[in-house]
Amino acid sequence: MFEIFDMTGTFAFAVSGALVALNKRMDTFGIFIIAFVTAVGGGTLRDVLIGKTPVSWMTDLLNVYIIFGATVFTILFRNYLKYLSKSLFLFDTIGLGVFTLLGIKAGLSVEISAVACVGLGTMTGSFGGVIRDILCNEIPVIFRKEVYATACILGGVFYFVAQYLGANTLVIDIGTALTVILVRLLAVKFRLQLPVVYKN
């Protein structure tokens, strides 16, 4: 199930990156690169930090094929994607939850602290978008008002609290992903935002 969500999230992240590149009027190669870094940027950074080389997408080319397919899909159907925005948002949110969980587990596999694991989970879920925005000369969304990385952090907190309380592994995994997903969905539905400090 998580593999399916992983692939769905990868596809959705790649589409979101390709759409940004299209809006920036990039060429075909540029569109693919932005889609690629959006989908695997966070996971690549995670793998490098924990010393896992070659990084995941180099050993499992399925993600590369998914990203390529998502890029072609976006280019061909760019005029119709506006009607799928809600579905793509949902896929993106599911991917965010699953990637956060995968990042936490990657940290646990190398026996680092809980705080570092939460950081890895947040990075895996959200830093592809950060890299995308920087390459597109934009201030990353998560550094402004969006409740995005915060959802990942709350999911990570749930993981370790549930683990401390002795919950079943499956319950912890599903609960962590669902926490991220629900926080993200509720934040968008009720327009919840982090406070912004303005310069006088």
Query: What are the domain boundaries of the chain?
Result: 2-189
Angle separating helix axes 114-135 and 85-109, nearest 10 degrees: 140
Cα 121 to Cα 153: distance, rounded to the nearest angstrom: 8
pLDDT in tens, 16-68: 899 889 989 999 999 999 999 999 999 999 999 999 999 989 998 999 999 99
Give the confidence band of 9 by pLDDT, cuts at 50, 70, 90: confident
Q: Quote the tokens at residue 4.
A: 């399916």
